[in-house]
Amino acid sequence: MSHLILVRHGQSEWNSQNRFTGWVDVDLTANGKLEACKAGELIKDLNIEISHFYSSYQKRAINTLKLILNTIRVKNEKILKAWELNERHYGELTGLNKDDMKKKYGEDKIFMFRRSWDTPPKPLNKNNPYHPANIETYNDIPREKLPDTESLKDTYERVIKYYQVNIEKNLNKNILIAAHGNSIRALCKYLFDLDNEIISKLEIPTGNPLLITFNDKRVKEAKYLDTSRAKDLIKF
């Protein structure tokens, strides 16, 4: 048997402000750092050797993974960073307060933008400072690959393409991925064969490791390590 551990980053600065974050590269709050350390303790208690470590390009995921590695006392391990594991891009909603947008557009429309399978928000203007082309983190990514907006379907396609090419082949080893709500949601859809209606309702808690156990590269079991904050849509 082998294990894949998926961890959404700890609480970010914009999570705490209830803002649409997407590709903007904000860091963890003090509480987010504590969540990451708690995730590390939970993973440490598994007493398993992890061979591969992946994160997105975004510092809230990278720093979550670094805090986990420090907690489980793993040093000098290479973190494989992939922009394909980034959060979904929220288009023109980027940087705006979620409650304010609900008041402006209505809860149903904002839910559609946040959780529907194939409806993206309107694109973000390329001159906006929050556009990926204007964020130093993404300087080495070809401009044509930088999104202006994304649906969950768009996010799924880039995440799963990367997973199939770069991660899936290593499932005979134990793997840890630190990523984001929607990139992890995409992985859950793929791994658990979830339909579009269920995936729109799937909640991914911050800093709570999801342990997926494989037998001959087939999913056998999945559970959150922090049962007090576990979500119940994934059942085996």
Asked if residue 233 has pLDDT above 60, the reply is no
d(CA 144, CA 112): 26
CATH number at residue 197: 3.40.50.1240
Does 29 fall in a domain? yes
178-207 pLDDT, tens digit per residue, is 999 999 999 999 999 999 988 888 889 999
The contacts of residue 186 (CB under 8 Å, 6+ apart) are 152, 155, 156, 159, 160
136, amino acid identity: E
Does 128 fall in a domain? yes
Asked if residue 24 has pLDDT above 80, the reply is yes
What does DSSP say about strands 210-215 and 2-8: parallel, antiparallel, or unpaired? antiparallel
- For the chain, where are the alpha helices, taking DSSP H only? 13-16, 30-44, 59-71, 98-105, 107-115, 152-162, 181-192, 196-201
Report CA-CA distances (Å) from 164 to 27, 33, 184, 190.
28, 30, 14, 10
Which residues constitute the domain of residue 88?
2-216
213, amino acid identity: T
Tokens at residue 72, please?
């489980």
d(CA 64, CA 195): 29
For the segment 132-143, the average pLDDT, to the nearest whole number, is: 96
Nearest 5°: CA angle at 185, between 57 and 137?
Answer: 10
pLDDT at 40: 97
207-222 pLDDT, tens digit per residue, is 999 999 999 888 999 9
d(CA 51, CA 57): 20
Question: Of the ranges 3-7, 27-31, 75-79, which one carries the lowest mean pLDDT score?
Answer: 75-79
Does 235 fall in a domain? no
Question: Of the ranges 12-21, 41-50, 105-114, which one carries the lowest mean pLDDT score?
Answer: 105-114
Asked if residue 235 has pLDDT above 50, the reply is no
Count Cβ atoms within 10 A of the Cβ of residue 101 and give its class: 0-12 exposed, 13-18 middle, 19 or more buried.
Answer: buried
Q: What is the DSSP letter of 125?
A: P
39, amino acid identity: A
For the segment 33-39, the average pLDDT, to the nearest whole number, is: 98
Asked if residue 103 has pLDDT above 70, the reply is yes
86: three-class secondary structure by DSSP: coil
Does 196 fall in a domain? yes
For the segment 160-185, the average pLDDT, to the nearest whole number, is: 97
| Residues annotated as catalytic (active site), given as ranges | 9, 87
Q: Mean pLDDT in the chain?
A: 93
67-97 pLDDT, tens digit per residue, is 999 999 887 788 999 999 999 999 999 999 9
Does 142 fall in a domain? yes
pLDDT at 236: 40
- Give me the number of domains the chain comprises: 1
Does 230 fall in a domain? no
Predicted confidence band of residue 110 (pLDDT cuts 50, 70, 90): confident
pTM: 0.94
Best CA proximity match to 191, nearest among 172, 217, 230:
217
Does 229 fall in a domain? no
For the segment 17-24, the average pLDDT, to the nearest whole number, is: 97
pLDDT at 197: 85
Predicted confidence band of residue 231 (pLDDT cuts 50, 70, 90): low
Does 77 fall in a domain? yes
